[in-house]
Chains A and B, each alone.
Chain A
Amino acid sequence: DGGITQSPKYLFRKEGQNVTLSCEQNLNHDAMYWYRQDPGQGLRLIYYSQIVNDFQKGDIAEGYSVSREKKESFPLTVTSAQKNPTAFYLCASSIAAGRAGELFFGEGSRLTVL
């Protein structure tokens, strides 16, 4: 079954803890993205990666970190420095960064900080 898989679907975290959200794709896409979705805020870009071992900050990168060691994987770490981490996180991929128009999205991960 081809596509993008995010895990876990739901995650609870205590304040002060780091947490890592997984994103895996088997579409052989070069580019991958992390967005944060909040009610009334739409989707805001956190980080994106055009190619393995390279990534760029999006509009709201503070308090987050990523890595891109493999083409198919783009994990997002929400650090304790993120002031308001409770949100719905969406991972996406596209064939290439220059063709970012058609994004394929995962089902999302909902993070709740207690």
Chain B
Amino acid sequence: AQRVTQPEKLLSVFKGAPVELKCNYSYSGSPELFWYVQYSRQRLQLLLRHISRESIKGFTADLNKGETSFHLKKPFAQEEDSAMYYCALFNQAGTALIFGKGTTLSVSS
């Protein structure tokens, strides 16, 4: 069965500290994975996708098929990174996204 697991409900870090938001998945075949972000009072929006291998707002995520993980990382957290982060996976048919339960990132000074 296809599934996305985000084990942390809340992650609190200090400004300037490294951040790693965990995401594990269950999928048959080659998955397509994404990270979405929802800032306070803003719409949910795409942050990055594994297929493009890009860095957005200093965040990166590497697909590790051996560990079935797609963790989101940033070397130095900023207060404006505080938000809800969702990991998502294409369903087997490739027609819709399956989301994890989300992790709230809180960055304080």
Q: Which residues of B contact A (CB under 8 A)?
A: 6, 9, 32, 34, 36, 43-46, 49, 51, 86, 90, 94-102
Contact = CB atoms under 8 A, between A and B. Distances in A.
Interface string A36-50: 000011111100101
Given A42-B86, A42-B102, A100 B44 contact: no
Contacts of B34: 101
B9 A101 contact: no
Interface stretch (A13-21, A72-80, A103-111): A103-111
Interface in A88-107: 90, 92, 97-98, 100-103, 105-107
B43 A100 contact: no
Contact of B95 (A41, A42, A56, A92): A56
Given A42-B86, A42-B99, A58-B96, A101 B49 contact: yes
A4 B24 CA distance: 30
Contacts of B102: 42-43
